[in-house]
Amino acid sequence: MDGFPRIPIGEWADTGLDWIKDNLEFLLDLFAIITGTLVEGLTQILLAPPALVVIVIAAAIGWLVRSWQLAIGTLITFMLILAMDQWETSMQTLALVLVSAILAIVIGVPLGILAARKPGFRSFIKPVLDFMQTMPVFVYLIPAIIFFSIGVVPGVFATVIFALPPGVRFTELGIRGVDAETVEAGQAFGASPGQILRGIQLPLAMPTIMAGINQVIMLALSMAVVAGMVGADGLGKEVSAALSTVNVAQGVEAGLSIVIIAIYLDRVTAALGTPTEYKGSLLAMIHKARTKTSS
């Protein structure tokens, strides 16, 4: 609008990114070395044994954590990936997703714990998370390319930023949702804040935290196509190539492989989030004391 002053936020952001690249180059290089090594190493581990061996191991994990139905479904669907000749690209995508998700979890869970225990920090980080979740995902590619050029590293960088918020939010929600009376009982036993966190809050909040981890993994997997656009090997690169050449067959096979991996990871992480018994823990002591009191 004529006469209305323009605020050059874009130019400020550009200047800020240039400053980061010039002054924090050692941190960016360290991130590139660590993430690149992790993704490449995990990819080699997944591709080293015969594909059928990896499929059987994945099915065994599904059976162990959930049910034999998941194991059979894993065998059938993973062999379908193999039959579509998408096995190598699927393992490249799985490695990228797992590394990105682990980094997001390692950062997000401690931030969520801090947000649950510090109201001031919670008030500060909530709008930051809102910004991270609502910003279009393609915008994250701009600083990723500026910092790391093209390849797997900018894909991991953009994926971590995009997938981080649910890990923080669900962890904070789970910790704050723990029954206050149970926490007070732990304090009555003389437990320190750290012991209460490890022995009461984290165990009781674990289903909620695992739901957050599940969302982190799903969001990381949804970024596979975006990561492929910046040169990361895997199914995302296949989808991007199919889009540029209007290759329906290639797009369907790569997309179906992403769906299969997503369903498998969703079922496994959802099963890991079920409550468990904590025998011999602080929670068990509180429960035993409450039982004696009520009787």
Give residue-wise pLDDT tens across range 70-97. Answer: 899 999 999 999 999 889 999 999 999 9
pTM (two decimals): 0.84
- Total domain count, the chain: 1
pLDDT interval class at 279 (50, 70, 90): very low
In a domain, 81, yes or no: yes
pLDDT (0 to 100) of residue 283? 59
Q: What is the DSSP string of 219-263?
A: HHHHTHHHHHHTT--SHHHHHHHHHHHT-HHHHHHHHHHHHHHHH
In a domain, 16, yes or no: no
Domain that includes residue 229, residue range? 25-294
In a domain, 8, yes or no: no
- Considering only CA atoms, give the Rg of the chain: 22
Mean pLDDT of all residues in the chain? Answer: 83
pLDDT interval class at 59 (50, 70, 90): very high
pLDDT (0 to 100) of residue 53? 92
Judge residue 247's burial from the number of C-beta atoms within 10 Å of its C-beta, 0-12 exposed, 13-18 middle, 19 or more buried.
middle
In a domain, 17, yes or no: no
Top-confidence residue, 203 or 166: 166
Residue 12 neighbours by CB under 8 Å, 6+ apart: none
In a domain, 102, yes or no: yes
In a domain, 2, yes or no: no
> For the stretch 103-142, what's the b/e string if a residue is b when 16 or more beta carbons lie within 10 angstroms of its beta carbon?
bbbeebbebbbbbbeeeeebeebeeebeebeeeeeeebbe
pLDDT interval class at 280 (50, 70, 90): very low
Q: What percent of the chain has pLDDT over 70?
A: 91
In a domain, 6, yes or no: no
In a domain, 4, yes or no: no
pLDDT greater than 70 at residue 3: no
Residue pair 267/66 in contact (Cβ under 8 Å)? The answer is yes
Q: What is the pLDDT of residues 23-43, one digit of tens each?
A: 888 888 888 888 889 989 999
Residue pair 74/55 in contact (Cβ under 8 Å)? The answer is yes
For residue 163, give the CATH number of its domain. 1.10.3720.10
